[in-house]
Amino acid sequence: MTSRTHDGPEIIGGVDTHGLTHHAAVIDSLGRHLADREFPATVRGYRDLLDWMRVHGTLAAVGVEGTGAYGAELARVLAAAQVTVVDVDRPDRRTRRRKGKSDPVDAYAAATAVASGRATGIPKSRDGVVEAVRVLRVARRSAVKTRTQTMNQIRNLLISAPAMLREQVAGLDRAALIRVLARLRPGDDLSRPLPATRAALRRLARRHQAMDAEITELDTEIGPLVAQAAPALLEMFGVGPETAGQLLASAGDNPERMRSEGAFAHPAGVAPIPASSGRTHRHRLNRGGDRTANNALHTIVLVRMRYDERTRTYVERRTEEGLSKKDIMRCLKRFVAREVYRALTGTPTKRITQTDPAPAA
């Protein structure tokens, strides 16, 4: 069944990915449908899919839906076999209403998107230290969310708690409050509000302590990985392990797939979008992209506006020119995105000065 010579006409593949199966299709250089087939989403299935495609000719590229989800491992297998992988967006609802929806239809559509040039995205490789940082940050983000939720529940319970209990913890800061609540002794009889509230607060406080310990442990694990992946990023003013980790996860193990700083600014949501019409020439805020990456850039800008003298000078100058604080922050985020891109790709970086031109806001 397999053919390792790859002789024959040039073909393009497309794959519609699912949790348990992947449906593959191949077309020729003219877009004619050649064949389609379903394969299990297993290591053996990925290899069989590649061999099956190569039987039909010389494989030029493969369009894969969901390279960041169900198609992640398939994309890694294809890349390891020196096959060009293109990230393909799923068809929108309008297209599906017009052309129908099925696994073969979607697989052929993925191949056609590559052949026509409509799909050109290079997927994240997800095979290096940055992917390790990303998965660890998923656990950290969950722990932080649980800790915040737990603290909110503690404060809400204290609002309606019996006065004796509220007075016992009045005026304590968060750390002291958690320590005191974790040592409460509710007793055996929980049929009355006071001991029941003590029992609930003790459990919540101990959960808060457990999340604190988990976050500290994860920070210890993530920090060295971030420093290994992008030491130049950590040297930037206002960038710490948390923001650096998020920017690394957004860029992926192969940031060179973004061919310019503008290509990085767009997914980060800081590239101004033209909104001109007639005699009006303006740009509007980009509300798309990776909002977590945008939040990391926002955090860096806030730190620089407070502690970086050159950034504060820039803010004063732009304020005198009539820009609002929001517009100035948009400009600064675009500046920081440029520095981040240069740090990730190893190109020389440049700091903000009073004479730097500002991008359109």
What is the mean pLDDT of the segment spanning 116-122?
89
CATH architecture of the domain with residue range 10-116: 2-Layer Sandwich (3.30)
Q: Which residues contact 351 (CB under 8 A, 6 or more apart)?
A: 237, 310, 339
Q: How confident is the model at residue 11 (pLDDT cuts 50, 70, 90)?
A: very high
> Domains of the chain: which residue ranges?
10-116, 129-229, 232-345
Q: What is the pLDDT of residue 52?
A: 97
Between 144 and 127, the more confident residue is 144
pLDDT exceeds 80 at position 352? no
Between 81 and 350, the more confident residue is 81
312-347 tens-digit pLDDT? 999 999 999 998 898 899 899 999 999 999 999 887
What is the mean pLDDT of the segment spanning 211-215?
97
What is the mean pLDDT of the segment spanning 63-67?
93
Gap between the Cα atoms of 218 and 147, Å rounded: 14
Q: What is the pLDDT of residue 3?
A: 41
Tell me, rounded to whole angstroms, the distance of Cα 141 from its chain centroid: 12
Strands 10-17, 58-65: pairing is: parallel
* Amino acid in the structure at residue 71: G
216-245 tens-digit pLDDT? 999 999 999 999 999 999 999 999 999 999
Q: Which of 98-107, 113-122, 136-145 has the lowest mean pLDDT?
A: 98-107
Q: What is the pLDDT of residue 212?
A: 97
Two tokens at 187?
């007793």
Residue-averaged pLDDT of the chain:
89
Gap between the Cα atoms of 137 and 245, Å rounded: 8
pLDDT exceeds 90 at position 121? no
Report H helices in the chain.
Answer: 43-55, 72-80, 93-99, 103-116, 129-159, 163-169, 174-182, 193-229, 231-234, 241-251, 261-265, 291-307, 309-320, 325-345
Q: What percent of the chain has pLDDT over 70?
A: 92
Q: What is the pLDDT of residue 94?
A: 67
Q: How confident is the model at residue 300 (pLDDT cuts 50, 70, 90)?
A: very high
Q: Which residues pair with 24 in a beta bridge?
A: 15, 37
Q: How confident is the model at residue 2 (pLDDT cuts 50, 70, 90)?
A: very low
270-279 tens-digit pLDDT? 988 887 888 7
What is the mean pLDDT of the segment spanning 162-170?
92
Q: What is the pLDDT of residue 92?
A: 64
Q: What is the pLDDT of residue 7?
A: 61
Gap between the Cα atoms of 294 and 269, Å rounded: 6
Q: What is the pLDDT of residue 272?
A: 81
Strands 21-28, 10-17: pairing is: antiparallel
Give the three-class secondary structure for 273.
strand
Q: How confident is the model at residue 358 (pLDDT cuts 50, 70, 90)?
A: very low
pLDDT exceeds 80 at position 6? no
Q: What is the pLDDT of residue 348?
A: 60
Helix (H) / strand (E) containing 61? strand 58-65
Between 193 and 90, the more confident residue is 193
pTM: 0.82
Residue 121: phi and psi, rounded to 5, are -65, 135
247-259 tens-digit pLDDT? 999 999 988 888 8
